[in-house]
Amino acid sequence: MPEVIINGSAGRIEARYHHEPRSDAPVAIILHPHPQFGGTMNNQIVYNLYYTFVRRKFSVLRFNFRGVGRSQGLFDNGPGELSDAASALDWMQSYNPDARFCWIAGVSFGAWISMQLLMRRPEIEGFISVAPPANLYDFSFLAPCPSSGLMVNGAEDRVVPTEAVAGLVERLKTQKGVVIDHRVIPSTNHFFEGKIEELMELVNDYLDERLDGAEESAA
């Protein structure tokens, strides 16, 4: 899991990268929670998401947004962090030009940024959004949502109520050819305390289903 430094619009971006030797290996990037509330690339959910893609033979990158850890710059409340994510994806593609496809995953604030990047980059084929802050940030840019994916939240999340995520999913479900799978994990909060193993089981099952289906289609 080598450390890498990426050039971003605000300076260097600190990252961790796993390279899969196969030239056509898919790629994935993982975005962390809100920088001003302790979010970093070493967040436990981010870490677990990173390795769930590693186990599926992806080249995977997780990184610190500007102003976090050794990443340069200052928190920008969205636009700058989106630029960081775009720089990270550009870097990934420069090192993996023959990648078959790309996925993105984000946690809370990182889920909001990831969905914005999804709208701008048609090569992203799937997404995992953990606790997407549908009541705190504007998701109306998803018009239409270009890719199918998973949104998951905790039933006792007091930061982002289930109703807010369900409302977002309901709006996106009306789009032809796009399937948004919404799952709610009982008895857990915004941080999935005590339930990260259950969260990852759900994510793993979803990825297995999606990726197996993609392999069958390709065959």
d(CA 99, CA 89): 12
d(CA 67, CA 186): 34
- Upper half-sphere CA count for residue 206 (Cβ side, 13 Å): 26
What pLDDT, in 10s, does the model give residues 126-145?
A: 999 999 999 999 999 998 89
pLDDT at 45: 98
d(CA 85, CA 119): 13
Of the chain, the percentage scoring pLDDT greater than 70 comes to: 97
What pLDDT, in 10s, does the model give residues 170-206?
A: 988 777 889 999 999 999 999 999 999 999 999 999 9
- Domains of the chain (ranges, CATH numbers): 3-218 (3.40.50.1820)
Q: Is the pLDDT of residue 213 over 80?
A: no
How much is the pTM? 0.95
The residue to which tokens 């796009």 are assigned: 178
Nearest to 63 by CA among 129, 135, 6: 6
pLDDT at 216: 53
Q: What is the mean pLDDT of the chain?
A: 95
